[in-house]
Structure 1
Amino acid sequence: MKRHLWMALAGASTSVAGAAAAIAQPIVIINYRPPETVQKVAIPVNPAEKRLRVLIISGQNSYEHDWTGMNNMLRTLMQESGRFDVRVTEDFDHGTLAMLKSYDVVLLNYSSRWNYADAEQHLWSDEAFKALYQYVREGGGLVAYHSSFTWGRDIPEYKRLVGAVMQPGSSRRAPPGSFPIHIIDKSHPITAGMRDYIWTFNDDMYTNMSIDPEAKIHVLATARDAAADYAPKLMSNKYDPAAYTPEKLKAMKGIDADHPQLWTADYGKGRVFSMTVGHDEVSLHFSGLQDMMLRGTEWAATGKVTLPLHEDSRDDGRR
């Protein structure tokens, strides 16, 4: 599915007009830190097993994301699948191509800002950005994960690499934390055999993302930003019901529309898998999201998927 179908799903315009900005979702800044979680620590893998090598690039993220805990959970999840050997770096400021070429696939769990509306951000060096682009362009795999779309709006090549980013003033995080994900391509190796809807909890539905016009996007799954889900009794206390009256909802761009949540793209000779969902360790306890992450990472690394689905992720014809 090329970008014209993406635009039909999410809306082609990335401009922020005065009227649109006036009704955009308010950006909330509160005194919050992610809760501490207790998780298993992944143990080293025997090099003789010849697993796919994964590098998680992290080191900074927004205040709502338990990125250190998620790095550990991702590493444990991947290594326990028996397919991957995973390393984590929290310092990619001066990353090099030689460093990246030691790995089959890179996973981005990084955001440059404490709040995605902040003007100040922590960026890698120009050399590190160039190394990442060249690594993928020459055939390396890339997984862009969740908060990786909350920055890069002012970095054209990064935006092209991951396909789309959140744009304050026009993009929004739909308030409902639990929503269905609709698999629209059941023939792709990542999503083949998956049941139609995978439920999440305490997650983010990214809507009205700013799409790079040159990105070669293939949408795998969408979520519907339904006006009915903005009822005060369904919304988090984080959001002011007065901002989502029926009149304001009707005027919102992208309301009652389907928005891409998972997609693939080509970048040079490399394969990119983009996964917007997976806000925290609660979401990644759902088998469907685990399968998307594991199979998407394997596909980005090799172009194929050998990992089986969990039983409750499979489409058995009864749903």
Structure 2
Amino acid sequence: MTARHALIVRGGWEGHHPVEAAELFVPFLRDNGFDVRVESDPEVYADLDAMNAVDLVVQSVTMSQISREAVAGLRAAVERGAGLAGWHGGIADSYRGDSDYLQLVGGQFATHPSRHPDERSGDERDNFLDHTIEVTAAGRASVIMAGIEDFALRTEQYWVLTDDLNDVLATTTHPVQPYHPWHRPVTSPAVWTREWGRGRVFVATPGHDLDVLKDDNVRTIIERGMLWASRTESE
């Protein structure tokens, strides 16, 4: 059987541990028949020969910059059938200034609400909240979420701006708090898939740090999501 080809692009803001986070999934990809190429610069997306060989792109790049040529190359590769997958800020908070990228991914990080002001200590834990990832009806019918029930996390809870082209597999709800300015609960997608041309996109918003990525539910969802997104042999 011919090996499939995965391209991991990692970098950007170091607070999300892009190198270590991506490395967690390299053995899984290799065990599932992928040759894995790792790059630290998204400009590889502008390399047509490289992208023609890719079955799956796994991106772990928070914020950062990208050229118009690179975004065009990534979009074209997905349209031709390559998969795009990622988690947390590595895919949902990348290249904030590029609307073509945001349209491809289908969701953009807006904020992660914080704890009560009296409970804040001035570090990243101020944004760690107890919340629930709730599986949707579409999620229960998906191979990505099979056997996974609603589960609790204490980490950043992403508020995401999105559109209705996504198939939402799980959600999370931001409650009303007296110290926040919104006036009714807001539900955001937490796991979604998106079909784009002949390709597939998978996004999971949990994954702020290595502990979250090692959570059994989170890791299983991401692993299955990568396989789902990847170009199939019939393509």
- TM-score bucket of the superposed structures, by smaller chain: 0.7 to 0.9
Q: Is the 8 A contact 2:206 2:213 kept in 1?
A: no
C-alpha distance in 1, partners of 2:215/2:70? 34
With structure 2 as the length reference, what TM-score do the two structures score? 0.81
Matched to 1:200, the amino acid is: L
In the TM superposition, residue 106 of structure 1 has moved relative to its aligned partner by 0.3
The secondary structure found in structure 2 opposite 1:58 is strand
Question: How big is each residue's C-alpha offset from its partner over 1:125-146, in whole Å with a ceiling of 9 and x where there is no partner?
Answer: 3222211110001111111321
In the TM superposition, residue 303 of structure 1 has moved relative to its aligned partner by 6.3
C-alpha distance in 2, partners of 1:67/1:153? 17
Select which of 165, 169, 186 maps to 2:140.
Answer: 186
C-alpha distance in 2, partners of 1:198/1:50? 37
Larger Rg: 1
The number of equivalent residue pairs is 217
Partner of 1:216: 165
In the TM superposition, residue 173 of structure 1 has moved relative to its aligned partner by 4.2
Question: How big is each residue's C-alpha offset from its partner over 1:153-207, in whole Å with a ceiling of 9 and x where there is no partner?
Answer: 431111111101124xxx334533443211112001211222x223334x32111
Could you say what the CA RMSD is over the residues aligned between the two structures, in angstroms? Answer: 2.4
Partner of 2:182: 252
Select which of 24, 41, 45 maps to 1:91.
Answer: 41
Off by >6 Å, runs of 4+ in structure 1: none
Partner of 1:135: 77
C-alpha distance in 1, partners of 2:226/2:201? 9
With structure 1 as the length reference, what TM-score do the two structures score? 0.62
Matched, 1:160 2:94: no
C-alpha distance in 2, partners of 1:158/1:267? 12
**Structure holding more strand per residue:** 2
C-alpha distance in 1, partners of 2:59/2:79? 16
Matched, 1:108 2:59: yes
In the TM superposition, residue 53 of structure 1 has moved relative to its aligned partner by 2.2
Partner of 2:10: 58
| Residues 1:87 and 1:197: Cα distance change in structure 2 (over 3 Å) | same
Q: Is the 8 A contact 2:5 2:35 kept in 1?
A: yes
Q: Is the 8 A contact 1:152 1:165 kept in 2?
A: no
In the TM superposition, residue 73 of structure 1 has moved relative to its aligned partner by 1.4
User: Which runs of 5 or more structure 1 residues have no equivalent in the other structure?
Assistant: 1-48, 114-122, 228-245, 305-319
Matched to 1:247, the amino acid is: P
Partner of 1:33: none
Matched, 1:144 2:75: no
Question: How big is each residue's C-alpha offset from its partner over 1:213-248, in whole Å with a ceiling of 9 and x where there is no partner?
Answer: 5x6111000112234xxxxxxxxxxxxxxxxxx533
Select which of 204, 226, 231 maps to 1:297.
Answer: 226
C-alpha distance in 2, partners of 1:83/1:289? 22
Matched to 1:258, the amino acid is: T
C-alpha distance in 2, partners of 1:247/1:282? 30
User: Which runs of 5 or more structure 2 residues have no equivalent in the other structure?
Assistant: 115-126
The secondary structure found in structure 1 opposite 2:178 is helix
The secondary structure found in structure 2 opposite 1:109 is strand
